[in-house]
């Protein structure tokens, strides 16, 4: 069992899942590739279309049923996050091109063993940094201080005015090409749901956009300060969905294996 909730009397039905077909997955991820490699990547795909004031993407939410499904796949070894631009998705009331993340699982042979689960974009922070320290050196754990820095960098970029389409594209450009997503190990999800060294148990997961600011070394050129888009994973209780208030989190996990160069396998 992934958590201690008794779901035997009310098992999760298909209505609890937000999945897309393989054709939709290809369509949405291909649209991302086309947009990010274009001359002017539009910032509006990261903005809340229903808000009267500008609100940019704060996190992508996946519910308890989705996480249980991914972790319950027979033979699951890795979970993959792929960037997507969705034009129309009724369950999330998406009617205009919108950035989101699609998750799926693969086995040890790199074969997909799950459905494609589409995340819900959220434009309001639902988590705060906890003061207590979790048990470190387990999984791809990162400190709350570092997570805060990365999250703040994304907010700084989003608050810029005017926003440069050229800058946005550069955030996703690496030595291997434009980012299509990130891959990560199964333990990151496991530890997010039940942080080691604590008595806390989580059920839902949010993936937060962040910016890694680092000094890049270029062959035959001067080092430069570079910003690269990244993702951080955090587990949250089921009531922390941006409706009932903020949730204190002290365990963050870094999705540190980009695609490219890695693909569906490690």
Three-state secondary structure call for residue 38: coil
8 A C-beta contact, residue 251 and residue 147: no
- Which region among 109-113, 165-169, 223-227, 252-256 has the lowest average model confidence (pLDDT)? 252-256
User: pLDDT per residue over 144-193, tens digit each?
Assistant: 778 888 899 999 999 888 788 788 889 999 888 999 999 988 877 777 77
Residues 240, 259: Cα–Cα separation, whole Å: 30
How many residues are listed for the chain in this entry?
A: 266
User: pLDDT per residue over 120-144, tens digit each?
Assistant: 999 987 666 555 554 444 444 666 7
pTM: 0.84
Q: In the structure encoding, which two tokens stand for residue 70, read together? A: 């991914």
Sheet with 19-20, strands from edge to edge, namely 19-20, 116-118, 98-107, 76-86, 181-185, 257-259
Going from the C-alpha of 95 to that of each of 49, 87, 98, 99, 235, the distances in angstroms are 9, 6, 8, 12, 28
């Amino acid at each position: 069992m992934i958590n201690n909730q008794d779901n035997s009397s009310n098992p999760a039905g298909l209505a609890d899942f937000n999945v897309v077909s393989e054709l939709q997955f290809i369509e949405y991820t291909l649209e991302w590739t086309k947009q990010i490699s274009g001359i002017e990547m539009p910032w509006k795909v990261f903005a809340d279309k229903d808000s009267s004031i500008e609100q940019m993407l704060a996190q992508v939410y996946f519910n308890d049923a989705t996480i249980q499904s991914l972790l319950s796949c027979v033979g699951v070894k890795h979970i993959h996050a792929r960037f997507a631009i969705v034009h129309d998705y009724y369950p999330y009331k998406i009617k205009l091109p919108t950035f989101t993340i699609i998750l799926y699982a693969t086995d040890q042979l790199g074969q997909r063993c799950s459905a494609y689960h589409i995340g819900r974009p959220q434009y309001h922070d639902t988590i705060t940094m906890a003061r207590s320290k979790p048990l470190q050196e387990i999984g791809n754990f990162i400190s709350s201080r570092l997570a805060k820095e990365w999250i703040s960098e994304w907010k700084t970029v989003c608050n810029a005015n005017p926003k440069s389409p050229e800058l946005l594209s550069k955030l996703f450009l690496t030595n291997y090409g434009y980012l299509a997503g990130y891959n990560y190990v199964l333990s990151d999800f496991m530890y997010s749901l039940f942080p080691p060294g604590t008595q806390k148990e989580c059920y839902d997961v949010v993936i937060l956009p962040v910016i890694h600011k680092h000094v890049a070394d270029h062959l035959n050129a001067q080092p430069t300060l570079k910003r690269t888009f990244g993702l951080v994973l955090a587990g949250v209780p089921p009531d922390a969905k941006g409706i009932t208030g903020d949730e204190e989190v002290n365990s963050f996990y870094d999705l540190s294996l980009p695609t490219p160069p890695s693909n569906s396998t490690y």
